[in-house]
Amino acid sequence: GSTRRDFRTYFFPFSTFLLLPLALAGQAGKSLIPYTDVKPIVDALRDGPLRRRELATRVVAAVGERARRWVEHSWGGVLHRATLHGHVVFGPNVGNEITFALRRTWLRGERVLSTDEAELALLRAYLHGYGPATVQDFAAWAGLAISDARAIFERLRDDAFLATVEGTSATL
């Protein structure tokens, strides 16, 4: 028979994933930030926007020194995960430094879009910045399957302009 094993996923700089058996993950203690756990970032930002080093100091106090490099020197680490979950956005600049803020406190009054509305808004923003473009261009930029990108393009078809660029049909 097969043996069931439980793992915890950790995310490290440079998009490296590490699967640790839960027995070993427990030994890691506060020295690792679980990939799925953005709570230390969210907790650190509860009092308002923070610069990267300020944020790192608070996260380190919560989870340990090894977290410092993931917050201070990486965009692909825990900060990226917190943004993907919709918790963290850029806050106001302080001099030439960026800050991070909680989305729910910094963007009060935001309108939540349906999936269809969000997809169309994304396509419109893409075409505004990069158009004219093909379905393939948009799919590659957005990380979508061609079929998904094509479906979004079809919903925009009545509001879009078609152009021919170097013999290729593109949308503007």
55 versus 23: which is more confidently predicted?
55
Instruction: Quote the tokens at residue 141.
Output: 């930029």
Task: Please give the pLDDT value at position 24.
Answer: 42
Predicted local confidence at residue 61, as pLDDT: 93
pLDDT exceeds cutoff 50 at 21: no
| Burial classification of residue 57, based on how many CB atoms lie within 10 Å of its CB (0-12 exposed, 13-18 middle, 19 or more buried) | middle
* pLDDT recorded at residue 95: 93
Using a cut of 0.75, tell me whether the model's pTM lies above it.
no
Tens of pLDDT along 94-145?
999 989 999 888 877 767 778 888 888 889 888 888 888 899 999 998 888 9
d(CA 125, CA 109): 21
